[in-house]
Amino acid sequence: MHYIITEKGTTARRIAAILSGGKAKKTKVGKIDAYEFDDKVVIGLSGHVFRLDFPQSYNDWSKIDPSDLIDAQIIEVALKKDLVKALEKIARDADIVTIATDYDREGELIGVEALNVIKRVNPSIKVDRMRYSAITEQAIKESFAARTDVDYNLAASAKAREMIDLIWGAALTRFVSLAANRLGNGFFSVGRVQSPTLALLVDKEKEIGRFIPRKYWELHAKLRTESGETFTAVHERGKFWHLEEAEAIKKKIESAREGTVSDLKKRLRRDNPPTPFDTTSFIRAASSIGFTPRRAMNIAESLYLQGLISYHRTDNTTYPETLDLRALLGQLKTSPDFGEYAAMLLKKKQLKPTAGKKQTRDHPPIHPVAVTTEDKLDKDEWKIYELVVRRFMATLSDAAKWEDTGVKVEFGGELLEAKGHELKQPGFLAIYPYQKKEETKLPVLKVQDKVWLDDLELLEKETKPPNRLSQAGLIKKMEELGLGTKSTRHEIIGKLYERAYVQGNPSRPTEKAFAVIDTLEKYAAMMTKPDMTRALEQEMDWISEGRRKKEEVVEDSRAMLRAVFQEMEENRDEISKSLKEAVKADKIVGTCPECGANLFWATSKRRKRFIGCSGYPECTFSLPLPPSGRVIVTSDRCEKHPTIFKLKILSKGRGKSSRAWDFGCPYCNYLEWKEKSKDDKNN
């Protein structure tokens, strides 16, 4: 029997349908769903077969020194015992096993995990590998016909990352949490990639905090032509740093009233089409239409599994020569939404796609592989599918052409400037509206034309602090610094939110984040810098290339961690004091409306949560809180009770994800509940 092992059950069903021509019958391997046809059986895993952990003897945080975890044994724990039994059954029944998991590091490791179970029972079994970038009939049939070897080096690099992240994350998280006396749900999470990523946000917030705004003034004029058309212009100086100077120039212009066009220049500007989507640019584009990185990647995965787009985890920004662009456009030509534009592109004698700087051989850039319609997808799926389709066609389109006009008007010796931007040829913007800029049209003017001053306004402004990083911007920064991978960056950011280190978008770190990063920067600076993580990422690349062994790289990471621990052990008391002080600050909800002391959230001896006053027992002001979920104190104040901060409650959703509930002002909530209770009682 020939067994084909995929990463998920949905993939197994689709691949079986394709390879069997729709004739595959649903069956069972043990208790796991499978699909059988001819002499073949396709079975889907549920992601990883095993998770890594330490032996049970290391579970009690209070009894094990965190540094002991650095060299502790690492064991594999089966995630589904029924799945392991099914793999053992395959080992006894199979003549050949084909791994058909996603072709990337994680997918290769998942496939090897399954193979390790099979080979323990049947060491001599024949094994090969399908590699595909889309779940379409052509891609699946071609990859099945051209099966290749399993890439054990690639799997080893993923296994090394798992081991390193477990060792670093567990050891450091325990050390910091024990030092802060924060166990249970309130633990302080620290990680090899997570901590330097969080440091980026904390450092940015400190930069914003240090910023001192400076006032300046601008002169904005409304000008009128002889034909009565109006347009706006600003003084050529832009910013005036001294009010007296700006007021003097304003009077000078106003006294002139009439001006003359002294200079007029036009130029044609090309706006080049965007490059193909790699994962990072896809996430950034999805963010611009309202999707968080995690949500965008989840939807992309769904579209990939439905056979609508290519594999969504890729560093490639150059279409391979083997990708038949005309065939894809031929499919899109049948679409009621994109068919007209696809037909126009097909009329071009030669298709010259744009190309980015990155070219890899594992997967092509993200692109559509099949046609669907809006009614067949949910609202968010359609938005992401449409984004991918429009981006693909934009990369095959002509540049947009703009006419930029610059006009200078002289009033009493002072120059006012006006700028116009008019789209002359839409090019790719006809299909890709996501980056279209607004046009600014000026009246038809020529040098020496007279214009008149209708209005002149002196606007007071001030310089703005640096912008916070959006989630998409943070992913871009992580990529630049070598933090994480295309597959993990969005997950790391998700964890920062789940662990109450970050809130909002753009991302704003909480007091808890400041506490951890400030402490690490003082006593374990290596953990907040990208250098160490970048070096380990490079070594993991070398594992995949066969230049280093997994065991060597894991041992290198252990040596780095020992150095970190030595520094932290020497400063254990200072770390503990720093974190405990920060824990108190993290619980402050505002100031008491009755006595002015700090309000804080706490848990009573009966495990009931509440907001109390630090002026107790003299002040007995208190407010109730929901019984479950992680409390996050935001930086937004209540409009009715400005001394109190609004709250969010973070609770576990389905699976591993968390949901943030905007609880708002706890005092407003209490008063509303009290009023409702009174009404219910009266009724």
pLDDT (mean) for 613-629: 88
pLDDT at 654 over 50: no
Which pLDDT tens digit goes with each residue over 256-303?
989 999 999 999 999 999 999 999 999 999 999 999 999 999 999 999
Q: Note the pLDDT of residue 683.
A: 59
Contacts 24+ apart (CB under 8 A), 414-417: 414/235, 414/236, 414/249, 414/252, 414/253, 414/256, 415/235, 415/236, 415/262, 416/219, 416/221, 416/223, 416/233, 416/234, 416/235, 416/236, 416/253, 416/259, 417/233, 417/234, 417/235, 417/236
pLDDT at 656 over 60: no
CA distance 503 to 501: 7
Pick the CATH number of 2-150 from 2.40.50.140, 1.10.300.10, 3.40.50.2300, 3.40.50.140: 3.40.50.140
Burial 257-269 (b: 16+ CB within 10 A, else e): eebebeebeeeee
Q: Note the pLDDT of residue 189.
A: 85
Q: Note the pLDDT of residue 264.
A: 96
Residue with tokens 């036009």: 266
Q: Note the pLDDT of residue 504.
A: 81
pLDDT at 7 over 60: yes
Per-residue pLDDT band at 681 (split at 50, 70, 90) = low
pTM, two decimals, is 0.85
Residues linked to residue 225 through DSSP beta bridges, in sequence order:
451
User: At a CB cut-off of 8 Å and minimum separation 6, what does 242 contact?
Assistant: none
Q: Note the pLDDT of residue 428.
A: 96
What's the CATH code, domain 215-273+400-462?
2.70.20.10
pLDDT at 584 over 80: no
What does the mean pLDDT of the chain come to? Answer: 91
CA distance 311 to 306: 11
HSE at residue 258, side-chain half, CA atoms within 13 A, is: 4
Per-residue pLDDT band at 185 (split at 50, 70, 90) = low
Radius of gyration, alpha carbons of the chain: 31
Range with the poorest average pLDDT among 136-150, 338-352, 390-404, 495-509 = 495-509
Question: How many percent of the chain have pLDDT more than 90?
Answer: 72
Q: DSSP for 609-668, please give it.
A: EEEEETTTTT---EEE--SSSEEEEEEEEPSSSTTBEEEEEEEE-STT-EEEEEEE-HHH
Q: Are 481 and 516 in contact (CB under 8 A)?
A: no
pLDDT at 358 over 90: no
CA distance 465 to 462: 10
Triad 292, 297, 301: Cα angle to 5°: 150
pLDDT (mean) for 119-131: 96
Q: Note the pLDDT of residue 437.
A: 82
Which CA distances in Å does 284 have to 169, 187, 366, 463, 677?
28, 31, 13, 27, 47
Phi-psi region of 157 (alpha: psi -120 to 50; beta: other; left: phi over 0): alpha
CA distance 133 to 139: 7
pLDDT (mean) for 52-79: 94
Stated length of the chain: 683
pLDDT at 230 over 70: yes
Which pLDDT tens digit goes with each residue over 399-436?
999 999 999 999 989 999 999 999 999 999 999 999 87
Range with the poorest average pLDDT among 119-123, 477-481, 490-494, 496-500 = 496-500
The yes or no reply on domain 279-395 and CATH 3.30.70.920 is no
AA identity, residue 72? A
pLDDT at 346 over 80: yes
Which pLDDT tens digit goes with each residue over 68-95?
999 999 999 999 999 999 999 999 999 9
Which CA distances in Å does 595 have to 260, 598, 612, 621, 639?
66, 9, 12, 9, 19
What's the CATH code, domain 159-210+480-581?
1.10.460.10
Which pLDDT tens digit goes with each residue over 558-579?
999 999 999 899 888 888 888 8
First to last CA, the chain: 72
Domain ranges of the chain: 2-150, 159-210+480-581, 215-273+400-462, 279-395, 587-682
Give the residue numbers annotated as catalytic, written as ranges: 311
Q: Pick from 300, 225, 226, 205: which is nearest to 517 by CA? A: 205
